[in-house]
Every structure is written in structure tokens, then in C-alpha cells.
Amino acid sequence: MSSSKQAPEESEQADVGALGEIVPEPLMPVWRRVESVQEFRRTYGDSYVGVLEALTAAVLAGGCVWWLYLFLTG
């Protein structure tokens, strides 16, 4: 089998995310924004999720400390 030919399953899977072909022209600016977000997630997904988890943990810990302060002083 040559490298230029792909199995039918592989070519179908490669075109799964190609919704840009069926999006109507008036919605293209919105679709381009969605594509840019998807590209960002593909590029920085792991580190982005790690940063969001750290921020969430900091906010939750701060809320617990604030609640404890109010509980002990009130």
C-alpha cells in the first residue's frame, strides 16, 4: 500500500472536525472564533488546565480561610 493512499476509516476520521465547510457564510466570523479557541486548546491544553486548577484551588482555599475567620471572630 502506498503512502499516498489512506484507508477509508483514516480519511473519514481526518475530516470529522471540518465543519467549516457546512457553516453558512453569515456565521463564518463566529466559526473562526470557535476554531481559534480550539487551536488554543490543542496547543496549550495541558498547561492551561493546570493553571485553571491552581487558580480554582487558590480561590477555594481563600474561601475556606475567609469562612474560618468569620466563624471564629463572629
Query: Which residue type, as a one-letter code, is found at position 34?
Result: V
pLDDT for residue 69: 97
Looking at residue 23, the DSSP 8-state letter turns out to be S
> DSSP H helical segments within 1-74, as ranges?
8-14, 28-73
Which pTM does this prediction carry? 0.47
Tens of each residue's pLDDT in the chain, 74 residues? 555 565 555 555 555 566 667 888 888 888 899 888 888 888 888 888 889 899 999 999 999 999 999 999 97
Q: Where are the domains of the chain?
A: 22-73
> Please, which residues have CB within 8 angstroms of residue 27's CB and are 6 or more apart in sequence?
none
What is the rounded CA–CA span in Å between residue 7 and residue 56? 44
The 8-class DSSP code of residue 3 comes to: T
Model pLDDT, residue 58:
98
**Amino acid letter for position 71:** F
